[in-house]
Amino acid sequence: MTNRRRLTRRASLGSVLVFLFLTVSAYNLAQSKSAKHGETPPPPAAQKGPVTPRSDSAQSQTDDFVIRAEVNMVNVPVNVRAHDGGFLVGLKKGQFHVYEDEVEQEIKLFSQERVPAHVVLLTDISESVRYEWGSIKNAARRFVERLTAEDKVAVIVFNHETRLLQNWTNVSSKISGALDSVFPKGRTFLWDALFVTCDDLLKAATGKKAIVLLSDGFDNCVSHIDIHPKRCVEYTEALDAAVKSGALVYVVSEVQALRHQMEYMAKQQGRQDDTPPEAYHHVDRLLRTLAYETGGKVLYPDSFGELGDVYAKVAEELKNQYSLGYVSTNAFKDGTYRKIRVAVEAPKASVSTRPGYYSPKRSS
């Protein structure tokens, strides 16, 4: 159903995929013909980046076999805080214990250095943020400036449509230009935007991934189905896609700021806020669950003027994470959900990480 949803891009991926398919097919055909005539096929072009060493026996296998035999590393970003709330840095690998479904796993990868990340700025540009758009843009710019040169940032905006404004880049001027190119209007189809971000853009991203979601959490797709081309994505579908993407979701929640704004406007007009308190509480629970299940966090600015400080906290979270990786002792690729628990040998330490992941599913 929803798998057909894709981001509106400035460039089409279709032509790129067709080109790659034709290129690979031509290469395989050339190799086949060379083999038939007893010729030695030319070596492939040098691969950029790190290459996993293979044994002599593995070298004789086809590339297809290598891809199928690839080991799936489970990446676990971890924040550790002291009892006073500050980040605990300088911990050693031996102080960490990772459990999958309560079975301890051997930590294969460990780093306390800042690991480059792919970060998506997923930003609401519906009518509700029109008067605060200047503050939102400034906060986003300051956030990008706090990241390292190795980080990559993409900008996705949404109202009743989801658009990729800027693909992965580390050039802050491109981010600013992308944000300056839009004007808030329309309705809020939040879960559509989250689903397509995780199911499309983040599928090709590797390593540490994060989404910084700015929204009031009120999805009004159902009440405006007349302008939606397909059925609305439900919250559970968007949550499932977020967990499967492996991205940490940091929610910059406008719920409190919106509630204060609506109550103030209602008071000025001599009436009560039309939105019942239960609605705000319900939306807040959804956003909290989203952040918890992905290992992220919900941050609450009391006003849009505080967005800069809130975005700075997200940058600090990413900066102070330990990066752990393990190969699961459960080798079954059945697509099931597996719980993760991380324990740290440090007095009064509190650990935050994602509570689980979906194992890879063997393709039929």
pLDDT, mean of residues 320-337: 94
pLDDT value at position 264?
A: 61
pLDDT value at position 38?
A: 44
pLDDT value at position 255?
A: 64
Beta strands in 132-224 (DSSP E): 152-158, 162-169, 208-215
Q: What is the mean pLDDT of the chain?
A: 79
Beta strands in the chain (DSSP E): 73-81, 96-100, 103-105, 107-111, 117-124, 152-158, 162-169, 208-215, 248-253, 297-299, 322-327, 337-344, 350-352, 356-358
Instruction: Decide: pTM greater than 0.85.
Output: no
Most confident range, picked from 14-28, 64-78, 337-351 = 337-351
pLDDT value at position 32?
A: 47
Q: What is the band of 266 on the pLDDT scale with cuts at 50, 70, 90?
A: low
What is the torsion angle, in degrees rounded to the nearest 10, for the CA atoms of residue 325, residue 331, residue 335 and residue 336? Answer: -90
pLDDT value at position 364?
A: 58
Q: What is the band of 181 on the pLDDT scale with cuts at 50, 70, 90?
A: very high
d(CA 140, CA 155): 10
Q: What is the band of 49 on the pLDDT scale with cuts at 50, 70, 90?
A: very low
Eight-state DSSP code of residue 163: E
Query: Residue by residue, what is the 3-state secondary structure of 295-363?
Result: CCEEECCCCHHHHHHHHHHHHHHHHCCEEEEEECCCCCCECCEEEEEEEECCCCCEEECCCEEECCECC
Q: Is the dihedral of CA 321, 326, 329, 334 positive or negative?
A: positive
Query: 72-87 burial, b for 16+ CB within 10 Å, e for fewer?
Result: eebbbbbbbbeeeeee
What is the torsion angle, in degrees rounded to the nearest 10, for the CA atoms of residue 199, residue 200, residue 201 and residue 207? Answer: 50
pLDDT value at position 256?
A: 67
Q: pLDDT tens digits for 211-238?
A: 999 987 888 887 655 555 567 899 999 9
Tell me the two tokens of residue 351. Answer: 């650990």
Identify residue 347 by its one-letter amino acid code: P
Whether the pLDDT of residue 306 is over 80: the answer is no
Q: Which one is predicted more confidently, 256 or 66?
A: 256
Name the nearest CA neighbour of 147 among 298, 318, 353, 320: 318
